[in-house]
Amino acid sequence: MLSRRSFLLTGSIGIAGAALAKPKPAPKPHDDLHDWISVRRQFDLSPEYAHLALFYLTSHPRPVREAIEAYRRKLDANPFMTVESSMFEAPEKNLGLHTATVIADAIGEKPNEIALTQNTTTGLAIIYQGLPLKAGDEILTTNQDHFVHHESIRLATDRNGATWRKIPLFDSFDAISAEGIVERIHNALRPNTRVVGLTWVHSSSGLRMPIRAIADMLKEVNKTRSDRVLLVVDGVHGMGVEDFKMSDLGADAFASGLHKWIFAPRGTGFVWAKPRVWASMKPMIPTFSSLDVFQAWGAEHPPATIPDATWFSPGGFQAYEHYWAVPAAFEFHRAIGQSRISDRIHALNGALNEGLRKIPNVTVHTPLDRKLNAGMVVFEVKGQTTEETVAKLLQKKIVGSATPYAVPYARLSCGIMNTMEEVERAVAAVRSIAS
């Protein structure tokens, strides 16, 4: 079998590469992670601030920092041999495959259904640019979705000639219901709709979409259609918050960064899709992850096999120490327990949501129903711009953020590194600036 090593390298290099030590497993957490104070100690956060915007970009916990540093040392000591032995030799030494396997295990799927990416943006682009859409086809999305989701759709349809359309999901924040959302999407479908593109948890409002109910509705719709409607999901603000397997959602394709709620190294993410979806798609970036594609190139003909996710992981040189350290983040989650993590995040943000609702002149837009929220609370203060609210909170050492949408709102978010005392501190700060 033609391998990259046998194709490019001499036998003497191969012998030297085989002498490298097998990579050590990712470091385990040092403390008893059943204690939330011990969990907090894993993060090197500046103590004078209440960090309530870590959903934006995480602070690496200790096991992830140590894994990154261990791989960095190996790369700095011998970059060529480290990369060659960790990527292009036996499968059991392939650290990219190990990362894909860990992600697949976490979501209950298979490694060859996982494409490794740098972030959600790259993942959505890979999906929409790869789908076999054509003139006359339509993508349906909503006006609550993020810029990168809309742009991924726009850039793809500009090339393939398909069209796209945005619909509102609700008339007002106090009129949100799962049933109403499903009905709106159902009623907006057209005979030429081929894709419904949605976000699991909206960073504009904190709304968690009823993805399973939408998938079930589309399953019924597809029974009467020759061309199926695919469900594409931006899952970045649900991944690491909710305790789920991909089969629980019912999506056809799912993109997520890992440097938010999973606490994985910055610049890491993935795409999962059903095998039949990968098989229908075309890659847009050369890959280093598929031997089939490389062998076809060496034989000077296009690949004859059916595409799977390995065809879609972008190739080229990467921040390898970050990709290879991703399993340490999943081990950190496993050691704590995903159900405990989910309960903790919901408890903190639920208390924040309830506390803010009791303050005069404050309007909270994130639903209180746990089935319709996740890890953030979006609100506004009467008589203040969002920028003023966020700036005033920062003066009180509360790190919040503004939603980056046409109509911005203030936003606070609690993760497992936060405490109930910080929730109380944030509520008191908002009460102070709203009075």
Q: Which residue has the tokens 């593109």?
A: 197
The phi-psi region of residue 136 (left if phi > 0; otherwise alpha if psi is between -120 and 50; otherwise beta) is left
d(CA 198, CA 364): 23
Cβ neighbours of residue 368 under 8 Å, at least 6 residues apart?
350, 353, 354, 357
In the sheet that holds 269-273, the strands lie side by side as 114-117, 269-273, 253-257, 230-234, 193-199, 138-142, 163-167
Q: How far, CA to CA in Å, does 247 sit from each of 244, 252, 254, 255, 278?
A: 8, 10, 11, 15, 17
> Of the candidates 128, 113, 207, 190, which has an alpha carbon nearest to the alpha carbon of residue 160?
128
* pLDDT of res. 88: 87
**Domains of the chain with bracketed CATH:** 97-334 (3.40.640.10), 337-434 (3.90.1150.10)
d(CA 433, CA 379): 13
Give phi and psi for 59, each to the nearest 5: -90, 135
Structure pTM?
0.93
> Of the candidates 372, 332, 326, which has an alpha carbon nearest to the alpha carbon of residue 350?
372
Other Cβ atoms less than 10 A from the Cβ of 206: the count is: 28
d(CA 49, CA 394): 9
d(CA 68, CA 63): 9
Q: How far, CA to CA in Å, does 156 sit from each of 55, 73, 146, 238?
A: 28, 40, 16, 25
Per-residue pLDDT of the chain (435 residues; tens, 9 = 90+): 344 444 443 333 333 333 333 444 444 555 678 899 999 999 999 999 999 999 999 999 999 999 999 999 999 999 999 999 999 888 888 999 999 999 999 999 999 999 999 999 999 999 999 999 999 999 999 999 999 999 999 999 999 999 999 999 999 999 999 999 999 999 999 999 999 999 999 999 999 999 999 999 999 999 999 999 999 999 999 999 999 999 999 999 999 999 999 999 999 999 999 999 999 999 999 999 999 999 999 999 999 999 999 999 999 999 999 999 999 999 999 999 999 999 999 999 999 999 999 999 999 999 999 999 999 999 999 999 999 999 999 999 999 999 999 999 999 999 999 999 999 999 999 999 999
Q: Which residue has the tokens 């938010």?
A: 260
> Of the candidates 44, 97, 38, which has an alpha carbon nearest to the alpha carbon of residue 69?
44
Query: Residue 339: exposed, middle, or buried by beta-carbon count in 10 A (0-12, 13-18, 19+)?
Result: exposed
Residues 245 and 235: beta-carbon distance below 8 Å: no
d(CA 332, CA 7): 38
E strand or H helix at 3: none
Transcribe 365-407 into DSSP letters.
-S-SSGGG--SEEEEEETTS-HHHHHHHHHHTTEE-EE--SSS
Cβ neighbours of residue 273 under 8 Å, at least 6 residues apart?
113, 115, 127, 252, 253, 254, 281, 309
